[in-house]
Amino acid sequence: MGKIIRINMNSATVTSEDVPQEYVLLGGRGLTSTIVAREVPATCHPLSAQNKLVIAPGLLTGTSAPCSGRLSIGCKSPLTNTIKESNVGGTAGAKLARLGITALTIEGTAKDGETYILNVTKDRAELVPNGAFTRIGNYAFANHMRQKYGDKVSVISTGPAGEMKLSVATIAVTDMDGRPSRHAGRGGTGAVMGSKGLKGIVIDDAGTSPVQPVDREGFRAGQAKILKALAEHPVTSQAFPALGTAMLVNVINTAGAFPTRNFSVGQFEGAEKISGEAVNKNATSRPGGKMGHPCMPGCVIKCSNVYVDEHGEHITSGLEYETIWANGANCGIDDLDAIARIDRLCDDFGLDTMETGAAIAVAMAAGVKSFGDAQGAIQLIREIAEGTPLGRILGSGAEVTGKVYGIERVPTVKGQAMAAYDPRALKGNGVTYATSPMGADHTAANVFAPNLGGIPGLSAEGQAELSKSVQTIIAAHDYTGLCTFVTAVAAADIPTGLDGIVEMLSALLGANVTIDSYSELGKRILAVEREFNARAGFSAVHDRLPLWMTREPLPPHHTVFDVSESDLDSVRM
């Protein structure tokens, strides 16, 4: 029987309870969204004591299932004011699962100015005063913790941005090298952690064993199927290990859907210089650089990388597509090393690289800096960390930046910036941005792939249906802790892969999970999330892209977003 550990920051006390029977089929987003929807008043201020931060490994996390270490973090979002789940790789998820912790819920707020660290071991979970480690970056914090508690611990932390309660603040998780390079990036979860006065969580799973399925045989059979799918799929077996997620730069740029200079154009003249091929060249030609780097234990895809400078000094781990886009093309910047330094600064300060890049691009549109000014962008990020007024504006996200500078052309839905797929050229992604309960979140249903052959993505037809069905299955996948490239790539394209996931779940729980009942889980949690959002004041009217995207054609295809409102509304039904 798993445990829910409740950390009451008001009283600085920790309690533990058995997971209620009704939560047994819940994990990851399924559990975080359920707890938030039940326990958080929907109209509360996201930074108030009434909000809760819920941290839950997936159902398969801690098992031997490949790439299953994702950790879900949920709350009411200070960026969007909606319910929020953001998940993250790294090493913490598996350790929590091995410790038998189904969820941590961080509740209340510490007395003004007090901050704490939560220590979790096999024997106890306890809060200790944070002491000196305030307003320090994630890298220094993780180092201090590993020096103090040993280099096998996992560290979850919020950076200075979270301590400043900025809406773009992330929660960092250490990777397999002990670096805080994996982030629950979206929606300002770090600000919620900061508002509660919790600087970090140190997890030591010494003395524990992997999670064992009820039916080991059945589990191995399912596992074999998904491993086979991963080995067969050309993206997970070849493209990702070779080029990383940045392989998408050329793919999306060629499709004319690569948002450039604050979503003004769909192709970036500097795309080649920031492509997966360029990442590969730098990572493999420089001493200490590396492609094919896993972000978590049990990863067989290894889409990440270690990015170093010309002298072999570590800059960042995991220079990813969305980061390269947001701080590259979207800011008109084609200097890959500068983008890597931006990524490092964001990881250290605890900033969502996507929202930050989107905010900087809006500021560039307002004339704060020029498009293409890489050093200017770096300076802006330093301002965020310093908490200057300009830094706080940017650290509040693209929508607030647009509001403060009087800019209409802001690419957000429900307060969250869009990702690296312009919805006017990839309309299914536009439907996802518009209708996801999380705001403009590409991970909710990233449906560019079926739209790439020919130019179907330019047509509005069938996009709502496509996004809806993918949002549903992704919501189910988000219970599991499996990496999105397992679920949304391999299992999406190779049916036996999906069979494997369902078989692993059945075997894990000793239950009869079918593809239908699995899909039902997705429907159920989307309904829970939408119901929370309705209580928070969101309705179909908010399931819309900004009006300018329906009016301003995007070069080179010169299309607007023209999925009808009734099609968008069909996604909620």
Q: Does 164 bind a second copy (CB under 8 A)?
A: yes
Residue 368 is given by DSSP the state S
Q: Between 43 and 514, whose beta carbon lies closer to a second copy?
A: 43
Q: Does 191 bind a second copy (CB under 8 A)?
A: yes
Q: Which of residues 350-389 bind a second copy (CB under 8 A)?
A: 388-389
Which of 511, 542, 555, 560 forms a contact with a second copy (CB under 8 A)? 542
Which of 96, 125, 166, 168 forms a contact with a second copy (CB under 8 A)? 166
Distances (CA, A) of 227 to 59, 60, 66: 18, 14, 7
Which of 261, 314, 403, 523 forms a contact with a second copy (CB under 8 A)? 403
Which of 76, 293, 392, 477 forms a contact with a second copy (CB under 8 A)? 392
Q: Nearest distance from residue 415's CB to a second copy, in Å? A: 10
Name the one range near a second copy by CB under 8 A: 113-121, 331-339, 341-349, 532-540. Answer: 532-540
Query: Residue 228: what residue type?
Result: K
With vertex at residue 140, the alpha carbon angle to CA 55 and CA 339, rounded to the nearest 5 degrees, is 85
Q: Nearest distance from residue 389's CB to a second copy, in Å? A: 4
Alpha-carbon span 163 to 532, nearest angstrom: 26
- With residue 433 as reference, give the H or E element that holds it: helix 427-435
Q: Nearest distance from residue 304's CB to a second copy, in Å? A: 32
Residue 72 is given by DSSP the state E
Alpha-carbon span 185 to 417, nearest angstrom: 12
Q: Nearest distance from residue 393's CB to a second copy, in Å? A: 6
Q: Does 539 bind a second copy (CB under 8 A)?
A: yes
Cβ neighbours around 526 below 10 Å, total: 24
DSSP, residue by residue, 262-275:
TTTBS--TTGGGGS
CB 328 within 8 A of CB 274: yes
Coil, strand, or helix at residue 107?
strand
CB 485 within 8 A of CB 535: no
Q: Does 146 bind a second copy (CB under 8 A)?
A: no
x/- map, 25-44, a second copy, by CB under 8 A: ----------------x-xx
Q: Between 422 and 543, whose beta carbon lies closer to a second copy?
A: 543
Q: Does 537 bind a second copy (CB under 8 A)?
A: yes
Alpha-carbon span 564 to 87, nearest angstrom: 31
Q: Retrieve residue 408's tokens.
A: 């209409």
Which of 224, 390, 511, 515 forms a contact with a second copy (CB under 8 A)? 390
Q: Does 541 bind a second copy (CB under 8 A)?
A: yes
Which of 195, 253, 467, 484 forms a contact with a second copy (CB under 8 A)? 195
Q: Between 442 and 544, whose beta carbon lies closer to a second copy?
A: 544
Q: Does 480 bind a second copy (CB under 8 A)?
A: no
Enumerate the H helices of 40-85 as residue ranges.
none
Q: Between 242 and 368, whose beta carbon lies closer to a second copy?
A: 368
Q: Between 181 and 401, whose beta carbon lies closer to a second copy?
A: 401
Q: Between 161 and 249, whose beta carbon lies closer to a second copy?
A: 161
Which of 167, 236, 245, 467 forms a contact with a second copy (CB under 8 A)? 167
CB 276 within 8 A of CB 243: yes
Q: Between 113 and 453, whose beta carbon lies closer to a second copy?
A: 113
Which of 18, 151, 310, 408 forms a contact with a second copy (CB under 8 A)? 408
- With residue 67 as reference, give the H or E element that holds it: none
Sheet holding 116-120, edge to edge: 125-129, 116-120, 198-203, 154-157, 171-173, 182-184
Q: Which of residues 46-105 bind a second copy (CB under 8 A)?
A: 47-48, 50, 78
Q: Does 535 bind a second copy (CB under 8 A)?
A: yes
Which of 117, 193, 359, 536 forms a contact with a second copy (CB under 8 A)? 536
Q: Nearest distance from residue 167's CB to a second copy, in Å? A: 7
Q: Does 428 bind a second copy (CB under 8 A)?
A: no
Enumerate the H helices of 329-397 as residue ranges.
336-349, 353-365, 374-386, 389-394
Number of residues engaging a second copy in binding (CB under 8 A): 40
Name the one range near a second copy by CB under 8 A: 143-151, 239-247, 293-301, 398-406. Answer: 398-406
Q: Does 568 bind a second copy (CB under 8 A)?
A: no
CB 343 within 8 A of CB 356: no
DSSP, residue by residue, 280-333:
HHHHHHSTT-EEEE-SSTT-SS--EEEEE-TT--EEEE---HHHHHHHTGGGT-
Q: Nearest distance from residue 570's CB to a second copy, in Å? A: 18
CB 398 within 8 A of CB 355: yes
In angstroms and rounded to an integer, the radius of gyration of the C-alpha atoms of the chain is: 22
Q: Does 560 bind a second copy (CB under 8 A)?
A: no
100 by Cβ neighbours in 10 Å (0-12 / 13-18 / 19+) ranks as: middle
Which residues have a Cβ under 8 Å from the Cβ of 184 and sit 6 or more positions away? 71, 73, 86, 87, 88, 170, 171, 173, 190
Q: Between 49 and 449, whose beta carbon lies closer to a second copy?
A: 49
CB 476 within 8 A of CB 66: no
Binding region for a second copy (CB under 8 A): 41, 43-45, 47-48, 50, 78, 164-167, 191, 194-195, 388-390, 392-393, 395-396, 400, 403-406, 408, 534-539, 541-542, 544, 546-548
